[in-house]
Structure 1
């Protein structure tokens, strides 16, 4: 059985669900087992769970769209690692073009994409036919992974070899190889700075996209210095949401902090995220001020932290508009 990993943007979750349904026959035959980040259970470390699959699964589907390419996590982490394994012959990477975007210049741009000719799935008159082509591509990829045992097996159809044995490692070994890690203050400080830079790009891109998708609304990003930025949303020229994100220092406000409104002061906050670590990874924890403690114990990745602060900015505005 081959393990199939979905690398995708959450903006394309509905399309991912449709593709997974089209792969149902392969799962029922025992040809593949699928995995994506929505399978991560409560309390599991998100980054570790994803890394485990992107580093071990035999087939990696890149669900390509503009959102996928814009996602730092999808592009810089999942896709780059997938391509390293593909180029080393340790995995098969299949680009699945979901929506029209500029993908040909990406590292996976020279791979044979699916559906046929790299035509985006959303542009097919019959979207089921497009997903069926993807399923056939996955079945064919599984066939390439199978180690034939005799001459007869070389002529089997891919449907018939669904339960055949895959190549085994050169020597048997345990999969229980995880050891506890320790992180230095320097590593934690760097993770905090990297997270702030990620948040900065996340807010800038989100504000720009908000303006494009919502006529009459304008999102404005303003970088103040290396440790602070402002985010403002206007509706018909009137400011309706303002927020400040800054990196604190010293004993007070140490961490990445959020303040309603615009301020250059560093002595107040409405929410704060601090860098913590377990025995495997660095993550961020919220003080729970903005959510009455609901997010206090939730381990946040860089993307999770950025979305958490973005929600603080936009959710009150969304409630007013919907009420």
Structure 2
């Protein structure tokens, strides 16, 4: 589903956060932002003065979404800047659903009924995906070769875990090592899904974020539809992020901008004092690198530094961008 003109504007969708960042870069000053947003019906008196570009565009996108004008704004920006490096993002936001993410499902044949249930819920949720599992292989094809070929072309690999799956030699000797290698190369995401109670914590998949949340098995949740719905909704922003990556030139996977820009965005998520945000806007690449060295001088990871900053500012609950990033990005790689 396209994110444009949905209300409230979906901060948790990675494409929304990226659009906010791009507009803050392209129309960073107060007059530039007001001139653009005002052309689409945003009352100028409703826009506060003492905001950073990121904060300002967060508010403006919310106002535009209420008026159903986000799509029109993106179309106007694309028309004004036909050769901009962010053109793939604009195209992805405006495109009708068509691009798809391939999901590879690894499972035990004894759990086939649950795989079929998952496919049904994905279909009902209208996710832009193609779900592949071994029964999709046509007669006459070499089974192991086709499995590996489909795994290699998948952007999202789900491991459906149960005691039967844990005892499958093929899963742990072939599929798991191959999927982990794809993940380390940045070519695929790996998500374990707990179908039935089993000792998954001692496996190679224990380092990955498990669904459903709280390690509650699908089987045993009543009604079971609630568990599948939760899984599908957790996958939705991840799928959207993969589609954004595919839209970039060359389809080069990356979670967030690299280097200092990644650090700048991470700090935007936890700093909330106008003076600090204005200072952050002015820091160049060298100054950002020095800032990170000071913040991490005591050996803390990026995740620990950002969490400490959020707590220092009295966050009762994490800000939306922080919550989205901490769930979808490998936090210890933010500063690299």
TM-score range, shorter chain: 0.3 to 0.5
**Highest CA radius of gyration, 1 or 2?**
1
Q: TM-score scaled to structure 1, two decimals?
A: 0.45
Structure showing the higher strand proportion among its residues: 1
Q: TM-score scaled to structure 2, two decimals?
A: 0.43
Instruction: Name which structure has the greater RCO, CA cutoff 8 Å, separation 6+.
Output: 2
